Chain A
Amino acid sequence: MASLPKKRVSVSFVDDDDVVQHIIESAKAKGKKKKQAPFASKCSSKKKDLEEMVEGSSDEADELNFRASSALAVDDGGLSGGDVFQFRYTKKDCEMAEKATEASTPKSILKSKAVSFTPSKADASSKHISPQRSSHSESDSEDSSISSEEYEDCDVDEYEDPSKPSPSTKLPLSSAEAGLSFEHEPSTLQDYFDLHASGAVSTSDHTLSKLHIPSMDKETLNKMLSSVPERHVEECAALYRQHRMLFRKWMLHMCHGFNILLYGLGSKRNLLEDFQQSYLKDFSCLVVNGYFPSLTIKDILNGITEDIFQHKGTFRSPLDQCEFIRQEFEKEPRDFYLIIHNIDGSMLRNEKAQNILSLLSQAPGIHILASVDHINSSLVWDQAKCSHFNWLWFNVTTFSSYTEETSYENSILVQQSGALALSSLIHVMKSLTPNAQGIFLLLAKYQLKNKDISTYPGMPILIMYEMCREAFLVNSDLTFKAQLTEFRDHKLIRSKKCFDGRDHLLIPIDSATLTEFIEQSHNL
């Protein structure tokens, strides 16, 4: 025993009553949690004592004394909260690769392979995979490969048989108790420091630049993906059909004043669009792309007041607008459907937007159908908002990919092609006067000319003014400044002070996009 430093033997005196208690408890525990470590039973029996004490003392406490909620804990085939919300624990980097190889190698090979793994690695991983194994403190069994369940069994056997000479009879109770509480502490302590060890990140130093193609642009990505055959087509279609069957129910529930919220893995865009096509064709509705990066709550309100009511006036604040909408609906009862793809979208995540939406949902006749995808999306609502929304939750797992939803997202691996920037650039350009267009083109061309200089600071403002005058684009310093202000407001240019104190102007767009832009602007 002494040769194995990792194992410890703890000796404790066990009362008869404790034994019985222990057996009952562990039998219970086995039923509930298979992997629970043996020491937990001791803890839980203590806890039970505590509970009894509390119960006893709470006789005259308030009426809402706590009992375990059975109805809320009923399991309906999903994951329980304990599985989803866990504590952080350390993992070594190599485990991912291990798991991957594990998956790709057939099982029979795997076993032998696992044994032949470098011992240090295997040791480390086993320690971290199953922290409960290291904390088996009460048992002195020698075979460490026995699973924890079996462990428990043999524990029980040992305790049941008092005649068996066990080393656990000599120490006084108090020190045994103390020993117990210390026993499993080192591991948690170690875990804690492992977790919070600041230092370097314990991952490998590989970078993507090792790859032949470190990053793809959007287009290639889409091209590549379009060639990937869809998988599980039939089953996804079956799931989809199943969800389609709910459409009538949704309408029914919305007629009763509930609002519909869809959740579950997979894009729900198509489903909602389908619903709109098939059931809401004749009704007024507003489709909102919550994932759209420059969506504001004002857009939604304006969509209702301008496009649906054809109201021309302006409003002091969104709350006023909301009130106006409510009054309009009260005046003339009618049904209006607000479809929000991703009500948890980045632009709708703020309190204000959700407040307005919840107020809208209060208006008679407004029905909301929305989808959520982010795992923490429920946190955007507090109790009051939640009850305003009056949601009915529907799980529509579709497994379809989030093509549209992620298309705006600045993905880590996708090279920014600047397609968005280009289109907005052209959009702004179209609205400018010919002179302003000329000024901007002049700046763009100058920047392109100097694109090879790595330390290009931008175009000096004085030189630019001179060139503009020569090209008859501006007639005075004032008009020039006015034009620049306009560009700045649209974030088309950025000014920068150089070391020599002169102002320089720069278009914050990469040169490829700029070339593309100049080409296209000739066709404007």
Chain B
Amino acid sequence: MDTAGSVSKGCFAFKGKKKVAKLENYLSDDEFGQSVVKRHQVGQDMWTEIDTQIQILQEELNSRIFDDLLTFAADSCSTFTLDNLETSKTMVYREIPTAALVTGVNTPDHGVMFATLVSLLKERVSPLVAILKSKDCQNVKNTISKTLSQMVDNPQLLHDEDEKEEELTQKNLPLTLSTLAQWYKHKFKSKLSPKKRRSKGDDLKHKYPPAIVVLQDFESFLPHVIQDFITIASSYLHQLPIVFVFGIATTISAVHSLLPNAVSSLLCMEKFMAPPSSEYLTMLINQIVMTPEYPFKIGARVFQLLLDIFLYHDFSVLNFVKGFRFSLLDHYLNMPLSHLCCPLKEIHKKVKVMDAEEVETIRQLPSFMRFVEENPASNQPKLLLDEKFAKEAIVDLLEKMHTYHMTLFPVLQCLHKLVCKLPKHPLGKQQREVYSLVLESNIFETDAYKQSMELLRMLAKDELEEMLKQSIDVLMEKDRKAITYLPTDLSLFMDRFNTLDDLIGEEEDKGAEDESSLKVIPKQKNMYELRQTLKEMKKKKKKLSPYEKLRSEIIDYFDSVFRKYLICPKNLPLHEIFYYDAIGTVKKYLNASPRSATQLALSNPQYHLQSINCDEEENLSSAMPDICIVYKLHLECGMFINLYDWLQAFITVISSDAEFDPKNPDQVLQARFIRAVSELQFLGFIMPTKRKTDHVVRLTWGNC
């Protein structure tokens, strides 16, 4: 069936027999290299693991945010009752309990967050939950009908009800809050007849479940709609226990700018803070990226790119995860040895079944070559020729890599704890910044590191003590058996801190003597001598106090630890198997710039078509595709382009001889011009105008 040129239809359906596309069919060895299926499987397994970990993390995070909110929602209407109408009428329910959930900048993640919130509310607090988005609520009627339909259609309610709520399924019922209130009364008052209540003693709290209305994007609602809605809702408060949840992206003051005093006084607000997405990202990075559990790691540049996309573009953790997933997938598809990037316990098995070809591939790796060169000369031929020996070495190296990861992260955290509070933050405030420095190069060779060590040598006692404590805590965390001697060593330092006071006492006596001898400055004959003496005094190093000695000892100790463990992974043999650093690929597929690609092709066609040889980029040549010539000509114009002149210029470029009749150009050339112009119009560079006959408007401003 030809789908191109139909003038009556724009959609064409094709029904196929096959139902499910099998991944394996598209993994072929000749395209992705040998044993791609095996590799891909390892990658998939790892991704499944990571994915579940992410889910768990998200749940944890959400539950932490929402716990308070849920209790608030449950408790806020606990005094509500319909049992004795007289008292409830006399009681003045003026204020609607409202939770203002400050969520931070709107990101794609919010949809997920609110979906979780709603499901949690339904599960734990009340089945009556409605979530409203500003785009569905352009007027009050819509808003109320949306609320009603979500609350009443709730299957959970209909489920435990014996008789169906017929009156409400009828469509002719007016969609107002009074309908809802009556339905509510009918439902929950009759249901809780005294004998039932006795049987369900624990359910007492949920006797009258609150009707919760969640406004996801509070700022985008139309002010008058939301004002009316709140006012109406407040007048039903004695019949219906309404609770609002506002999702606020900016600050709490948005409520007051949107609602006048008369309306906001109807609300009894409590503020809840969701952690900003960067905090979530930090958690994610700590749990997923900076952990020895998953051997797959992203390299310095890709890590930086993903971080930058997060910080500069979207603040979306979802997108970060997407980037991470893509990197993982790409790594396992394109790195021929990536099946060795697997959990520690499988390494032996995997290396054992490697064939000669694979071992050869490993030998080709630059990092392995370096490793061979560093080996003693006696071992070198063995490594390169003896398969068995090489395999042993490989297993050893792979295991070393795992141990490296196991020690790297605790020590890294320790370093972060030390430097995160330094003035000017030479190594950054976030752990991820330190990590990206480690990934990039040997961190202990950087100036920033040296600077922070200098700063650390000037710390006061209590600060240092605090840091020491923290780093011991970090190192003592569970599952960190790798470097057991570190915390013990640090605790020894701690003990010395405690005995420091005694030492100081002893030292002071001695110090006093020394100083007294120094204090006497002999009388000088002239200024010159005085200066000399002073200089000498300065040279004489001031004696270090016991604390200072201890401090420099501690810092030296830390320094040696960092130098030992925080080696840049790029310097380790076989790092290619574990680290994915193809920044070009990631950038191309995730952060593409279609417009610059189009403009590059137009202004510089020889980039793609090598047969056009232009000596200069700027120049026009008749060998270029028509659209490029027309495009380049239009760059020379201002806002408006005269079509006649444009055509003439085009013909001048194309036809080699200058002798042509401007009034009667070659028709083929004219046709080519027309095509090129309409293509430019299609691409959005120009637009027809009526301001002047036979002119078009230029829509871009650049000149390349």
Which residues of A pack against B, CB within 8 Å?
59, 63-64, 69-72, 74, 76-81, 83-93, 95-104, 201-204, 206-213, 216, 220-221, 224-225, 227-228, 231-232, 234-236, 239, 245, 248-249, 251-256, 258, 263-266, 269, 273, 276, 280-290, 292, 294-295, 299-300, 302-304, 307-308, 333-335, 347, 372-378, 383-384, 386-388, 390, 392-395, 397, 399, 401-402, 404-407, 409, 411-414, 420, 423-424, 427
Contact = CB atoms under 8 A, between A and B. Distances in A.
B127 interface: no
B599 A224 contact: no
B304 A71 contact: yes
B370 to A, nearest CB: 26
B672 A86 contact: no
B137 interface: no
B318 A387 contact: yes
A247 B610 CA distance: 24
A328 B588 CA distance: 35
Given A69-B308, A83-B702, A252-B23, A100 B649 contact: yes
Interface in B663-704: 663-665, 667-668, 670-675, 677-679, 681-685, 688, 691-696, 700-704
B595 interface: yes
B702 A85 contact: yes
A64 B311 contact: yes
A78 B326 contact: no
A287 B607 CA distance: 32
Interface in B396-441: 423-425, 429-430
Contact of A373 (B641, B645, B648, B683): B683
B12 A287 contact: yes
B675 A401 contact: yes
Contacts of B704: 79, 83-84
B494 interface: no
Given A335-B18, A392-B326, 10 more contacts: A69-B312, A71-B307, A83-B596, A204-B642, A248-B28, A251-B25, A347-B10, A375-B683, A383-B107, A399-B601
Given A97-B645, A100-B649, A423-B7, A235 B587 contact: no
B19 interface: yes
A237 to B, nearest CB: 11
Nearest to A395: B597
Q: Which of A63, A254, A266, A390 has the most CB of B within 10 A?
A: A63
A335 B20 contact: yes
B677 A104 contact: no
B193 interface: no
Contacts of B593: 78, 81, 84
6 closest pairs, A vs B, by CB?
A292-B10, A393-B592, A307-B13, A103-B620, A224-B671, A295-B10
Contact of A100 (B620, B679, B685): B620
A212 B660 CA distance: 13
A235 B609 contact: yes
Contacts of B107: 383-384
12 contacts: A96-B649, A208-B694, A212-B664, A235-B609, A252-B27, A285-B14, A289-B11, A383-B314, A384-B111, A387-B314, A397-B608, A399-B609
B639 interface: yes
B15 A409 contact: no
A277 to B, nearest CB: 10
B4 interface: yes
B388 interface: no
A299 B677 CA distance: 30
Contacts of B648: 97, 100
B678 A411 contact: yes
B611 interface: yes
B501 to A, nearest CB: 33
Contacts of B158: none
B664 A402 contact: no
Given A100-B652, A284-B15, A395 B10 contact: no
A32 to B, nearest CB: 17
Contacts of A210: 644, 662-663
Interface in B588-629: 588-603, 605, 607-612, 619-623, 625, 627
B171 to A, nearest CB: 11
B611 A96 contact: no
Contact of B605 (A211, A276, A377, A399): A399
B597 A308 contact: no
B132 to A, nearest CB: 15
B646 interface: yes
Contacts of A387: 108, 314, 316, 318-319, 322
A378 B12 contact: no
Contact of B278 (A63, A99, A216, A299): A63
B639 A201 contact: yes
A85 B305 CA distance: 22
Contacts of A256: 23, 325, 329
Contacts of B599: 79, 83-84, 375
Given A264-B597, A423-B7, A228 B15 contact: no
Interface string B1-38: 00111111111111111111101011110010000000
A345 B68 CA distance: 47
A264 B598 contact: yes
Contact of B667 (A213, A254, A269): A213
A252 B40 CA distance: 11
Given A208-B694, A287-B14, A375-B685, A203 B608 contact: no
A289 B12 CA distance: 9
B611 A235 contact: yes
B638 interface: yes
Contact of B703 (A86, A204, A300): A86
A221 B678 CA distance: 12
B510 to A, nearest CB: 40
Contacts of A392: 326, 589-590
B658 interface: yes
A282 B17 contact: yes
A334 B637 CA distance: 53
Contacts of A263: 592, 594, 597-598
A265 B307 CA distance: 30
A71 B583 contact: yes
B316 A411 contact: no
Contact of B681 (A231, A285, A300, A411): A411
B71 to A, nearest CB: 30
B675 A383 contact: no
Nearest to A215: B674
B23 to A, nearest CB: 5
Nearest to A379: B595
B641 A99 contact: no
A375 B14 contact: no
Contact of B305 (A72, A91, A299, A374): A72
Nearest to B623: A231
Contacts of A420: 7
Contact of B633 (A99, A212, A406, A413): A99
A99 B663 contact: no
Interface string B432-470: 000000000000000000000000000000000000000
